[in-house]
Amino acid sequence: MSFVITKTGTSFQCILPPCIIFGTGVATRAAEQAKNLGISKTLVVTDKGVANTEGCKVLVEGLKAGGVNPTVWSEVQVDPPDTSIEGGVKVYLEGKFDGLIAIGGGSSMD
């Protein structure tokens, strides 16, 4: 898996191959997909509303059961400003994660 984040001054560049999986029941297969990508410690990115749903709970529990260590970051804002994105990048880098899973809508994927 290739993943690059570079920071120059106040700008970021993130280059990675996207893998979007969508559909009924996909949360239960997340650990398998994560392991196929070489992910063992993932940041789950979402907003506060989605973080409290059954779908997010199923995702997190499925990751744990499958041997993937998830941490939920639920600070995503609608149409996230740069400061929100920078906050997520900081959490990702400081946590030394090797993968990222976004659950929710487009703002989580931003």
Each residue's pLDDT tens digit, 4-47:
555 556 665 566 666 777 778 888 888 998 998 899 999 999 99
Which tokens in the block code for residue 84?
Answer: 């929100």
List Cβ neighbours of 45 (8 Å cut-off, separation of 6 or more): 73, 76, 88, 100, 101, 102, 103, 108
List Cβ neighbours of 95 (8 Å cut-off, separation of 6 or more): 41, 43, 71
What average pLDDT score do residues 83-110 get?
86
How far apart are the C-alpha atoms of 89 and 35, rounded to whole Å?
22
The domain spans of the chain are 19-109
Does residue 1 surpass a pLDDT of 50? Answer: no
pLDDT tens-digit map of 44-89: 999 999 999 999 999 999 999 999 999 999 998 888 788 888 899 9
The pTM assigned to this predicted structure is 0.78
CA 32 to chain centroid = 15
The CATH architecture that domain 19-109 belongs to is 3-Layer(aba) Sandwich (3.40)
